[in-house]
Every structure is written in structure tokens, then in C-alpha cells.
Chain A
């Protein structure tokens, strides 16, 4: 049996998720042994036409990029969105809270109308084409990445947690960030990261997106307890949770 052909593509992003693949260090040698990496611009010069698995990093911000992602979808048997930019739009969606013309003017001034500086509303990959699997996080978690890849290679469906970060945070016996007067998104954000940020004494800012059914009532209860308002929460949710069009 021939090895599965894997390709990695990047759109508007920081390329930090691809970096996590490189950061597998010695393990990447094992991975290279079981798949055939046919296209990975950041690391290789080779290019290809067909893929069993295509991994897409980054959000879609221009019409020409929508075309490119559709083309990749056509050539790929399985499409995986890699990291917050691809799965939920990521910080790039903050742009959608403003008027696009005004955003261009803010950065490029009088040159904003030059055609190569065109931009559109930021979209996650599944707002353009169907996505088969999502690996959440900013950046992705290396262990979760290898787990998902392993599942796909064995023809299994990966199971991603659908409970909030608080569950993992409590298991680590961290003092709740709310006790420090911080607005932590742990109660509504999908676990799977091992509560890395609260474990470093930093609030959860929501890079893994919401759980399927976020318990908003519980979140509101927590806010009442600590004397904070829904507005405080929204301000923090916008960082990674800005939606298409204006936020919330």
C-alpha cells in the first residue's frame, strides 16, 4: 500500500501552527516515515497536484484566496483546518469589527486604493468550503495534532473534548483566574489544551473556540459573583471570537 499523500497550505496567519509541526522535533522523523509529504512550501521545494490529506493553516481574507482554497478542496480527499485562524478565523477576525475601507486607510493611508492591497472580510476555512476535521488552538497543541493525524491514518474518527477549559484547569488545581479579578473564558471555551494559559497564571482568551453548547448561564453566574458585566466578557470574547460582520 502506498503512503498517504499529505500537503500543507498556509493562508493569512502567523504560520505558528506549521511551526508546531516542526516543533515535533525527533517525532517528525517518525511521521515522515509513514506519510508522503508532497507539498509544504515553508519547509520544502517540491509541489504536487493531489492529496489524501490537506492541512490548511490560516484564515481566508481575499477573493483570490477563496479560489485557492476551493481548488485545494477539489484535490483533497480529507481536508483538515489547522489552528484558530483556519477553524474560527482567529485574531484576523478582529478586522471584521471595522469598516474594511477604513481599516485599509488606517494601515496604508493614501496608498490604500492600490489594487494589491485589497482585502475582504475575514473567513474561517469552513465558511468557504466543507472541512472534515478541525484541530483547534492558537497555536495548535502538538500532542493533539499527532493524535488526529494518527486517527486519520488508521481510518478512525478523532475525539476532541467538548467540555470547557475549567475542567482541565480544576484538575491541575490552579487557583481560578476570576479570583484575581481577571475575565477568564475558561467556562465557555473548549478544553484539550491542558489549561496551559491559566496554569501559567494567564486568563484563557478563547483560542480553541466555544464548546458546542457553551453554558452561558453558568458564565453569567460567575460574572455576577465577581461583580463583572456581560460587556466585560464580550470585550474578551472578541479577541478570538469575533464573528462574520460585527461582533456578537
Chain B
């Protein structure tokens, strides 16, 4: 076995944003084992000050291209909370559908384009095109469906322009919704195919378990596998009631680490995890039948503490959001669509919006003066909430897997980071691995 290991991955590839992995082992003793985030900080909370209530979404959507709908929804809900605006059931349903389109887009991108190359031992998805053209085309097709879905409801695939505090600027026609529903029905088979392809190489996901706390939204009324409504819960709550989203700062307990330009978080223990696996661990019993079937294919059960299974939980959610959306469109069409007028009167207030980004729970809080100009903001992003947990995983992973040699260990660590689907532009940006010799 190798007694000395020096890994320095500077700017880890195939993740969204910049991160570094640094591991030094000398004579079998671990001297350094770090997950670093050097992404250029962008200071959104400072930049929104002085901007009007109706410009907040346009600005903070730009925190992240991949989860721009999620950031837009969280901020719009926060503005509505601050200004005391009600949203109609119709607008609420269309927003959730819009949100689901992003979950599908992001999860397919992550599992299909960024994780699959590791499972098929390729440096990127490009060499997989000649090797497995049908599988790659199925993945691209599902990704295109998700983007066309976003396009229809959000006005663009990235950075939505139909969201406004109080509702939506534009709603789809009944014909467009019917077409969308047909497309989604036709996508179910593609999703099952993608799951089967991933299942065929699922043994490449390392068998690694570390118990930690999993935090997500939870919705009891009506009971829903939620991405959009509800309160905060965790696997460490042990029957304690959920925490109101307005009290999220007591959950996240943000702090600055010298390893990172992104802030870190902790609640009941020294680190916690958010994302698809966290939602699954808290809410799995509320999944749609197809979602449960996909979980069954992979043997994924509630209480799973293998971070690599987050990729599988994402596939479970792909199935769930598509199946659930087909039903939601039925309900919208049965009721018939109505054009709604929105009127907003600015006033002073503080408000919070919380939704599940594809990569985990996201909090936005804003305070406005009587003219509706923002005076303070606080945003806490899912990837930040995972950084401390990634570090703790590293500390457990390196001693378990260092016997396999530097190259395998390096790949394992990169895969570990990728499994969290980090979106470092969100938190700021990251991914690099350094092995020091």
C-alpha cells in the first residue's frame, strides 16, 4: 500500500463552480484533508440593497443559472411574505409545475452529464456518445423536455420572466398545457430507461456510509413530498415539530470557514446535508408510485446515509415530479384557466421565502422600507449547507479508502463532491483536487 499520498485537485471538473480537494498523507498518517471553496464571492445580499421589490427576483435569479427558477421562486415568495400578498391557487399550481421542470432539468443534467462519466469510466459525456448513443440520446431527450417545459411556463429556460410578486405575468394556454402533458406522459418511458442504464453501473457508486443530519422541507397539510411549501424538518428532530421557515437562521447557524469563500452551516451536530437524499430521508413515504418504484429498483430506503445515493434519490425525484405533474395538469384543465389581475401596494416589512432547490433547501429573507426598497437581505444556499458535511465525509472517506492508492482515492473524492451536486456559483463557485507528493 502507498504510505504517501498527495492530492491537489485545483478546480474540480464537472461541477458547477470552483472547488479544490487537498489531501496529504505521509507515512500512512493523514496530515491534511480539505474541501476548499475558492470561488469569487459575488455579494448578492449587499447588491440588492436600494433595489425595488419588483426587481429583486431579476437580480437574485442570477445567483445560479442551473437553479434560477428556484432562486426566483424563493425571492418572490419572500417579497410576498413581506408585502402581505396572497397568491391564487391557479398561480400556485403553475409555479409548482414550473419548479418541477427545473428539478427534472437539473437532476437529468447532473446524473446524465456530470455523474455518468464516472460510472462509465470516461472523462466526460463526449466519449460516451459513440459508445452508447441510444443512452446518451435518451438523456438528451429528457433534458430537452425539461427545458421546453421551463420555457413554456417561465418564459425562458433560464432566468424566468413570468414570475412577479402576487402571481404570474403570463399563463400558458389550455392547449399548451395539454401538449405538455402528452410530452410528459411520453417521457415516463425514457426516465425508466435512464434509471435502468444507471442501475447497470450502480455498483461503481462506492459503498460508504457516514451518519449525519438530513434537513429538508416538510409539508403536512395536505401531506406532500414537497419542494415548495411547508416548514423545516430534519432526521435529528426525533418527533419535535418542524421549524417555521421564518426561523431558518436558527437552523442554518451560518459561519465563515477559512477554507471557503462560501459560508458553512450546522444545526444539531457539526454538519448537516441537504438535497435529494435529505428530502427522501424525511419524506419518502409521500412519493408518487413511480418514484417509489425507482427507489425500489435501487434498494434505496429511508434512513440511507451513503452520500453517493444522492444521485439515485435524484432519479427517484425525476420520476416523482413527472408523474405528479401529469396529475396537476389534469386538475388545472378540469377547473379551467382564468386570467388574473395583480395589484401590489408597496409597504414596509420583512419576509422569508423557502423552497427546495434541486440540490437542497434554500432560504431568502428581505426587509423593505415603506417605498418598497430593499434595506437588508439574507440568503442561504443549499451548497453552502453541504460544505461542512462534505468536509466531514472527506475525513471519514480518506482513511477508509486510502489503501486503494492515490488515483482511486482521488477519483473517489471527486465523485463524493459531485454526488452532492454542488452549485458553487450559488454559494460562490468551486472544485479542484490536489494530491501533494
Which residues of A come within 8 Å of B, CB atoms? 10-20, 22-23, 25-26, 29, 32, 37, 40-46, 61-62, 65, 90-92, 94-95, 97-98, 102-104, 106-108, 111, 114, 116-117, 119, 138-139, 196-197, 199-202, 205, 235-236, 239
B13 and A104 form a contact (CB under 8 A) = no
Please indicate the chain B residues that have their CB under 8 angstroms from the CB of A22 in the complex: 109, 113, 143
A18 and B65 form a contact (CB under 8 A) = yes
Nearest CB of chain A from residue B85's CB, rounded to whole Å? 17
B143 and A202 form a contact (CB under 8 A) = no
For window 28-78 of B, CB contacts with A under 8 Å fall at 38, 40-43, 45-52, 55, 58-59, 62-66, 68
Query: Which of A19, A91, A92, A106 interacts with B45 by CB under 8 Å?
Result: A106
What string of 1s and 0s marks CB contacts (under 8 Å) between B420-431 and chain A? 000001100101
A46 and B123 form a contact (CB under 8 A) = yes
B162 and A91 form a contact (CB under 8 A) = no
A95 and B162 form a contact (CB under 8 A) = no
Please indicate the chain B residues that have their CB under 8 angstroms from the CB of A19 in the complex: 65-66, 109, 158
A16 and B155 form a contact (CB under 8 A) = no
Chain A CB within 10 A, most for which of B40, B49, B159: B40
Query: Which of B41, B59, B147 interacts with A25 by CB under 8 Å?
Result: B147
Query: Which of A102, A116, A200 interacts with B258 by CB under 8 Å?
Result: A116
A16 and B62 form a contact (CB under 8 A) = yes
Please indicate the chain B residues that have their CB under 8 angstroms from the CB of A196 in the complex: 155-156, 161
Q: Please, could you name 6 A-B residue pairs with CB atoms under 8 Å apart, sorted by A? A: A19-B158, A23-B158, A98-B47, A102-B46, A103-B47, A239-B59
B159 and A138 form a contact (CB under 8 A) = yes
Interface: B114 (CB within 8 A): yes
B159 and A139 form a contact (CB under 8 A) = yes
Known A14-B63, A22-B109, A94-B48; 11 more pairs at CB < 8 Å: A14-B64, A16-B66, A23-B158, A29-B129, A37-B126, A42-B15, A117-B41, A117-B256, A119-B43, A199-B155, A201-B162
Interface: B140 (CB within 8 A): yes
Nearest CB of chain A from residue B273's CB, rounded to whole Å? 23
What string of 1s and 0s marks CB contacts (under 8 Å) between B150-173 and chain A? 000001111101101000011000
A97 to B48, CA, bound (A): 11
Query: Which of A103, A108, A197 interacts with B161 by CB under 8 Å?
Result: A197
Nearest CB of chain B from residue A165's CB, rounded to whole Å? 13
Question: How many interface contacts (CB-CB < 8 Å) are there between A and B?
Answer: 170
Nearest CB of chain B from residue A133's CB, rounded to whole Å? 21
Q: How large is the interface on B (under 10, 10 to 19, 20 to 34, 35 or more residues)?
A: 35 or more
Beyond A44-B124, A44-B126, A201-B162, whether A107 also contacts B46 by CB under 8 A is yes
Query: Which of B11, B43, B261 interacts with A103 by CB under 8 Å?
Result: B43
Interface: B16 (CB within 8 A): yes
A61 to B144, CA, bound (A): 33
Query: Which of B155, B256, B429 interacts with A10 by CB under 8 Å?
Result: B429
What 8 pairs across the A-B complex have the smallest Cβ distances?
A: A16-B65, A200-B155, A44-B124, A94-B47, A111-B256, A201-B169, A45-B123, A202-B161
B14 and A42 form a contact (CB under 8 A) = yes
Please indicate the chain A residues that have their CB under 8 angstroms from the CB of B48 in the complex: 94
Chain A CB within 10 A, most for which of B17, B46, B50: B46
A65 to B13, CA, bound (A): 18
Query: Which of B11, B50, B123 interacts with A44 by CB under 8 Å?
Result: B123
A46 to B49, CA, bound (A): 40
Nearest CB of chain B from residue A101's CB, rounded to whole Å? 11
Query: Which of A15, A32, A102, A205 interacts with B129 by CB under 8 Å?
Result: A32
A107 and B45 form a contact (CB under 8 A) = yes
Beyond A44-B13, A46-B124, whether A11 also contacts B40 by CB under 8 A is yes
Interface: B125 (CB within 8 A): yes
A44 to B126, CA, bound (A): 8
Query: Which of B11, B45, B140 interacts with A41 by CB under 8 Å?
Result: B11
A45 and B124 form a contact (CB under 8 A) = yes
Which residues of B come within 8 Å of A, CB atoms? 11, 13-18, 38, 40-43, 45-52, 55, 58-59, 62-66, 68, 109, 113-114, 117, 123-126, 129, 137, 140-141, 143-144, 147, 155-159, 161-162, 164, 169-170, 256, 258, 260-261, 263, 425-426, 429, 431
B65 and A15 form a contact (CB under 8 A) = yes
Please indicate the chain A residues that have their CB under 8 angstroms from the CB of B263 in the complex: 108
Query: Which of B11, B46, B162 interacts with A200 by CB under 8 Å?
Result: B162
Nearest CB of chain B from residue A235's CB, rounded to whole Å? 7
Which residue of chain A lies nearest to B147 when distances are taken between CB atoms in the complex? A23
Query: Which of A14, A111, A202 interacts with B62 by CB under 8 Å?
Result: A14
A61 to B68, CA, bound (A): 22
Chain A CB within 10 A, most for which of B47, B58, B170: B47
A239 to B144, CA, bound (A): 30
Please indicate the chain A residues that have their CB under 8 angstroms from the CB of B59 in the complex: 91, 94, 239
Nearest CB of chain B from residue A113's CB, rounded to whole Å? 11
A205 and B40 form a contact (CB under 8 A) = no
A14 and B68 form a contact (CB under 8 A) = yes
Query: Which of A11, A111, A197, A235 interacts with B52 by CB under 8 Å?
Result: A235
Nearest CB of chain A from residue B148's CB, rounded to whole Å? 9
B55 and A236 form a contact (CB under 8 A) = yes
Which residue of chain B lies nearest to A25 when distances are taken between CB atoms in the complex? B144
A62 to B140, CA, bound (A): 36
Beyond A22-B109, A32-B126, A94-B59, whether A14 also contacts B425 by CB under 8 A is yes
A248 to B430, CA, bound (A): 34
A103 and B170 form a contact (CB under 8 A) = no
Which residue of chain B lies nearest to A61 when distances are taken between CB atoms in the complex? B40
Please indicate the chain A residues that have their CB under 8 angstroms from the CB of B425 in the complex: 13-15
Which residue of chain B lies nearest to A45 when distances are taken between CB atoms in the complex? B123
A32 to B109, CA, bound (A): 18
Beyond A22-B113, A62-B40, A139-B158, whether A205 also contacts B58 by CB under 8 A is yes
Which residue of chain B lies nearest to A46 when distances are taken between CB atoms in the complex? B123
A123 to B125, CA, bound (A): 33
